[in-house]
Amino acid sequence: MAQQEDVFKKIVAHCKEYGFVFPSSEIYDGLGAVYDYGQNGVELKNNIKRYWWDAMVKLNENIVGIDSAIFMHPTIWKASGHVDAFNDPLIDNKDSKKRYRADVLIEEQIAKYDDKIAKEVAKAAKKFGDSFDKEKFLATSVHCQEHQAKRDALHARYAKAMNDNDLNELRQIIIDEEIVCPISGTKNWTDVRQFNLMFSTEMGSTAEGSMKIFLRPETAQGIFVNFLNVQKTGRMKIPFGIAQIGKAFRNEIVARQFIFRMREFEQMEMQFFVRPGEELKWFEHWKKVRLNWHKALGMGDENYRYHDHDKLAHYANAATDIEFRMPFGFKEVEGIHSRTNFDLSQHQKYSGKKIQYFDPELNENYVPYVIETSIGVDRMFLSILCGAYTEEVVGDNDTRVVLKLPAVLSPVKAAIMPLVKKDGLPEKAREIINDLKFDFNVQYDEKDSIGKRYRRQDAIGTPFCITVDHQTLEDGTVTIRERDTMEQERVPASELRSIIGKKTSFTELFKKLS
Ligand code: GAP
């Protein structure tokens, strides 16, 4: 575990050193849980967004996109339930004065039981070697069964407390489990209180009378309030979806783990409108589609899993997360929710406008049901970086850090390097760049030895390094070096477009989805 924490620290440092992510306002000592994306980060982020947007909007003829405003009428947030119910249960440690989310403290405690079981399994697997039967071991090991029983009891108690919104019980669980503050090491806890996560601001000058408005905590509501606009102008027939990518804001009190939990972040959300009664069928459909979308990137199927929600949000009748194995455990990257007709019905009620769909096949009007897929761009970014970060021993005494990013998402697709800074090699390299730059993000690099240049490109996940040498001037061939295998091959420069294109093609990736 400590080793994994070290890896995570290295990833955070790597992000800064190589222009992926910087703390916001750093020269003023930063702003908590707010981050800026650097020159490589923004490219990776844009590629993630393109992968999502095209997979939704281009590959599905019944899904269209919108871009709604961040500021919205404040009644929207009353209707959606966010004013009254978008809360986190918080608890303070009286000695360290540190504030925690009570639910997170308990979930971490549940994860500790899982870790204990995993350790027992690993120990036995080592002892018994090839003859080890995990299922049998789990069914017979007294230690595992004890841990499992404690875990299940805690889980059931926690799920009930969350569903009942029972803050006293949450506190009691923390006391009974003897959970201590990681800073002070004491169990001196306050009561648990609810804290609303929305940021608010004023719109209009005070002289004219101002209105309190909220920074949206999710992009979804911008889709709901535009349901009729899009359905009518696009002549959309149910089932259909509306997709959106945009910023969201939450005053997260316990903002930790780098860009995992931020106060300003970006979401990619799609609301899929369906007939009442068909929502659970579509929920299963989108669960599968979204998991395939993740797996198609080739980061290892074993690194993803579903996690069904214990506590359903106020609007949902089914909900699952897609989790990714981060260095700090399996964590939510995406949520798939069956939101019933809650949001559209609420907007109908609060706005006084009829929000219904006339279904020509059924010859009836109804408020559609909704399946939502909601993924954080920043969390997706973090999961990709964590999965890609690799430290490798190369040769006898050398190591390299390489980001084994899916090539299609890499910020830079190829680096073109003249072997030396003379003899017409830089000019030839520029010529190749000028030819490739219309199709790919390519970089020119002439500084330092070729070995150092390779390492720099490995560190930002560039799939190809192309070296221009004296032979290039004679026969037009270059050396192309592949990031993961480090194998080098001599190829005609005229073939570069096709070689790079094949490996970094969105089209090839999209074909895997259909
Ligand atoms: N519209 C539904 C909704 O917003 P959510 O589970 O609260 O559901 C969806 O958020 C996704 O947004 C999460 O799976 C996560 O990827 C991302 N997300 C939520 N809060 C975040 C935060 N504070 N920082 C970064 N990403 C966040």
Q: 0.85 exceeded by the pTM?
A: yes
SS3 letters for 200-248? EEEECCCCCCCEEEEECCCCHHHHHCCHHHHHHHCCCCCCEEEEEEEEE
Residue 482: which H helix or E strand, with range?
strand 477-482
On whether the CB atoms of residues 477 and 492 are closer than 8 A, the answer is: yes
168, with CB counted inside 10 A (0-12, 13-18, 19+), is exposed
Q: At what angle do helices 142-163 and 102-128 cross, to 10 degrees?
A: 160
Nearest protein Cα to ligand 1, atom 5: 335
Residue 376 CA: which ligand 1 atom is closest? Answer: 16
Between strands 442-444 and 369-376, the pairing is: unpaired
Residue 267: which H helix or E strand, with range?
strand 264-274
Q: Output the tens digit of pLDDT for each of the chain's 514 residues.
A: 567 778 999 999 999 999 999 999 999 999 999 999 999 999 999 999 999 999 999 999 999 999 999 999 999 999 999 999 899 999 999 999 999 999 999 999 999 999 999 999 999 999 898 898 988 999 999 999 999 999 999 999 999 998 888 999 999 999 999 999 999 999 999 999 999 999 999 998 766 678 999 999 999 999 999 999 999 999 999 999 999 999 999 999 876 789 999 999 999 999 999 999 999 999 999 999 999 999 999 999 999 999 998 778 777 899 999 999 999 999 999 999 999 999 999 999 999 999 999 999 999 999 999 999 999 999 999 999 999 999 999 888 888 999 999 999 999 999 999 999 999 999 999 999 999 999 999 999 999 999 999 999 999 999 999 999 999 999 999 999 999 999 999 999 999 999 999 999 999 999 999 7
Pocket residue to mutate for ligand 1, from 218, 254, 308, 373, most atoms within 8 A of Cβ: 218
CA 267 to centroid of ligand 1, rounded, Å: 7
Pocket residue to mutate for ligand 1, from 267, 308, 378, most atoms within 8 A of Cβ: 267
Residue 334 CA: which ligand 1 atom is closest? Answer: 14
Residue 385 tokens, joined: 């970086």
- List strand residue ranges (DSSP E) for 277-368, in order: 304-308, 318-326, 329-340, 357-359, 364-366
- Could you give the CA distance from residue 421 to residue 414 in angstroms, rounded to a whole number? 19
Residue 334 Cβ < 6 Å to ligand 1:
yes
What are the structural domains, with CATH classification, of the chain?
A: 39-70+215-394 (3.30.930.10), 89-194 (3.30.40), 407-513 (3.40.50.800)
Residue 221 Cβ < 6 Å to ligand 1:
no
CA 221 to centroid of ligand 1, rounded, Å: 14
Place of tokens 């990619």: 268
Q: How far is CA 328 from CA 63, 168, 249, 289, 324, in A?
A: 35, 29, 24, 26, 10
Residue 252 CA: which ligand 1 atom is closest? Answer: 23
DSSP-assigned states of every residue in 386-401: HHHEEEEEETTTEEEE
Radius of gyration of the chain (CA): 26
Residue 478 tokens, joined: 């270059």
CA 210 to centroid of ligand 1, rounded, Å: 30
CA 116 to centroid of ligand 1, rounded, Å: 29
Place of tokens 């993803």: 304
Report which DSSP code applies to 63: E
Nearest protein Cα to ligand 1, atom 4: 218
Pocket residue to mutate for ligand 1, from 265, 307, 320, 322, most atoms within 8 A of Cβ: 265
On whether the CB atoms of residues 458 and 394 are closer than 8 A, the answer is: no
- List strand residue ranges (DSSP E) for 54-147, in order: 63-65, 87-92, 99-101
Residue 481 Cβ < 6 Å to ligand 1:
no
